[in-house]
């Protein structure tokens, strides 16, 4: 797994890299965000860490590139901050799906320790609406992560998972919802 760290400040790099290495990431370091933007397609990082304070205008542009899929699929982006973001920037970061690096340990735990494969799922919520979305399936722990807030349900009676080889009918408990990601514990019917 590759982590892209973008910072010209040694104290940020020195604080971030040991945590990433402990989680098994190979580190790619850029001091200039424009250079990182130019090479993001070749780098294909799994995770990006940078400081909004160092790059107050460009971190949002980088987030747009990441969301477009140019730098890879499902790239997680984290801001390392020594001073709090303004309310406006906090809202922009949340809207762009960017987390604080302080949250990295809890959010990345499942992603680093367990392998996953991409699936599509269909489920009915409490209102009776059918939802179709893509997700990650962690087969060894029977967990599905969905990039949606499922705050109005605690249990899904009917969930169908599609991957390249099979279709499976499941039920699921909503384990938690954090920063737009819902973690489902799934059971075969």
Model confidence, pTM: 0.56
* Tens digits of residue pLDDT in 36-64: 989 988 888 989 999 888 888 888 888 88
Are 107 and 76 in contact by the 8 Å Cβ rule? The answer is yes
* Tens digits of residue pLDDT in 112-127: 455 788 999 999 877 7
* Tens digits of residue pLDDT in 23-32: 888 999 999 9
Tokens of 102: 């302080």
Which uninterrupted H or E stretch holds 118?
strand 117-124
The residue whose two tokens read 């059918």 is: 130
């Amino acid at each position: 797994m590759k982590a892209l760290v973008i910072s010209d400040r040694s104290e940020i790099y020195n604080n971030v890299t040991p945590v990433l290495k402990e989680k098994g990431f190979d580190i790619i370091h850029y001091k200039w965000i424009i250079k990182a933007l130019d090479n993001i397609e070749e780098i294909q990082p799994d995770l990006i860490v940078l400081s909004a304070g160092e790059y107050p205008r460009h971190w949002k542009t980088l987030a747009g590139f990441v969301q477009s899929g140019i730098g890879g699929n499902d790239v997680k982006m984290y801001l390392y901050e020594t001073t709090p973001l303004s309310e406006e920037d906090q809202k922009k970061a949340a809207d762009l799906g960017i987390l604080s690096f302080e949250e990295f340990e809890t959010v990345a735990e499942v992603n680093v320790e367990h392998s996953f494969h991409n699936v599509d799922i269909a489920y009915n919520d409490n209102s009776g609406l059918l939802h179709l979305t893509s997700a990650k399936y962690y087969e060894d722990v029977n967990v599905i992560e969905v990039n949606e807030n499922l705050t109005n349900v605690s249990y899904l009676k009917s969930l169908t998972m599609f991957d390249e080889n099979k279709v499976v009918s499941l039920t699921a408990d909503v384990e938690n919802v954090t920063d737009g990601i819902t973690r489902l514990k799934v059971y075969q019917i």
